[in-house]
Structure 1
């Protein structure tokens, strides 16, 4: 069992994953098949997290509120955080977008890790510092970190590498002051390609880390308290 900071902190959270391998989408209540292990424990994942979170939502809010790092921000607007993140990462190749009511920060190949490595480079640190600062400034959200690879190399090695990279990013954000109770991570290996290709030309588009920021409403925070 993986004992990363994100997973240890997540022991207090209540998982919505059932023994049958289904996970409840917190937005729709729909049951979806998930092969993702909660909190970054190894294993491939089904591509069904677009509308949900790793390990569900309710228990994670309880854990984050208990850590004292989640609270309402007066006048908070998601578009404001998106605009600031875009300004802070301008010219870096990082893409910041809104997806299904969440903020998706796409950290592509070239600004993340060296080939085959999960060590965070100085240049990548500067980008993650901006992301961490935003998360600290806007604490009323949960954070998922997803690691993805291309299809070069073996499936098993790609899966492992994606997990190590997602864990490294999560741990770095925590080291910069983001409450670990808010963060979960998962590696997807080569199961969620942006460009289905094996030509080694467009493959770099598949090598990426995504940070998904899921805003919480004041009602959700109050209910957890």
Structure 2
């Protein structure tokens, strides 16, 4: 039992060293690759320790860490590539766990009441397509959003057409069609108050959701 506890304690030290500084926000956060590798190592250590004592715990930690870090590492690399290519474009990159979200404000993607992509945004979407082709494991969900001005029926239709326009452009740039789904959420998923001009501007957007592939 003492040997098993020692192995688990060693893994705990690995997890304690996960803290890094986000270069974009300056905040302390857990490095995703280290986090999932550490969790895998912990599980491997427990299983290996129960089976073969100290030697089994250490071997289990190594194998578990490599498996656990796999998709976390993939997402780390994809996030870094997106941030590099989209810096200064107005597109936000958000991450929650291993989910990535690209938020494309309406003022840089479409003219008012139009679903034709503005020509000035072609190069930005082209950069997104390059990353999606390099990191081709994620399904891509494209969601159009509007503010609450006008009828709900009109906003639902407009948001879906905008999502379709972005999805079609990505396919035309070589992103595999079967990876992509799209739909319009209209005014139903606001991220700010529709009671102010600034809030309505934030709500008019297209989002790309990149999630881990189904196992």
Select the residue among 79, 84, 91 that pairs with 1:82. 79
Residue 110 of structure 1: CA displacement?
Answer: 2.0
The 2-side partners of 1:75 and 1:150 are apart by 34
User: Are the equivalent residues in 1 in contact too, given 2:99–2:209 (CA < 8 A)?
Assistant: yes
Deviation of 1:101 after TM superposition, in Å, equals 2.3
Which has a greater percent of helix? 2
The one-character-per-residue Cα deviations of 1:7-47 (angstroms, maximum 9, x if unpaired) are xxxxxxxxxxxxxxxxxxxxxxxxxxxxxxxxxxxxxxxxx
C-alpha spacing 1:100/1:157, structure 2 compared with 1 (3 Å): farther
Distance change >3 Å, CA 152–CA 79, structure 1 → 2: same
In the alignment, what sits opposite 1:189? Answer: 186
Unaligned runs of 5+ in 2: 1-69
**Which residue is 2:199 aligned to?**
202
Give yes or no for the alignment of 1:148 onto 2:145. Answer: yes
Secondary structure (helix, strand or coil) at the match of 1:181 reads: helix
- CA displacement at 1:74 relative to structure 2: 11
2:72 touches 2:98 (CA, 8 Å); kept in 1? no
Contact 1:146 1:210 in 2 (8 A): yes
Q: Which runs of 5+ in 1 are unaligned?
A: 1-72, 221-225
Q: Distance in 1 between matches of 2:95 and 2:166?
A: 20
Task: Classify the secondary structure of the residue corresponding to 1:139.
Answer: coil
2-structure distance, mates of 1:122, 1:192: 27
CA distance in structure 2 between the partners assigned to 1:102 and 1:74 by the alignment: 11
1:104 aligns to 2:94 (yes or no): no
Q: Is the 8 A contact 1:132 1:173 kept in 2?
A: yes
CA-atom RMSD, angstroms?
2.0
8 A contact 2:142–2:207 mirrored in 1: yes
Larger-gyration structure (1/2): 2
TM-score by length of 1: 0.61
Give the TM-score normalised by structure 2: 0.64
Aligned residue in 1 for 2:92 = 95
Aligned to 2:174: 177
Range with bigger deviation, 84-93 or 166-175: 84-93
Report the count of equivalent residues: 146
Contact 1:151-1:198 at 8 Å conserved across structures = no
After superposing on structure 2, the runs of 4+ consecutive aligned residues of structure 1 that deviate more than 4 Å are: 73-76
Which digits, 9 at most, give the CA deviation of each residue in 1:166-209, with x for residues without a partner?
Answer: 00000111101111101100100000001122233321000000
What per-residue deviation string (whole Å, max 9, x for no partner) do you get for residues 78-128 of structure 1?
111111111111111110011352110110122211110110112211111
Match of 1:130 among 116, 122, 127: 127
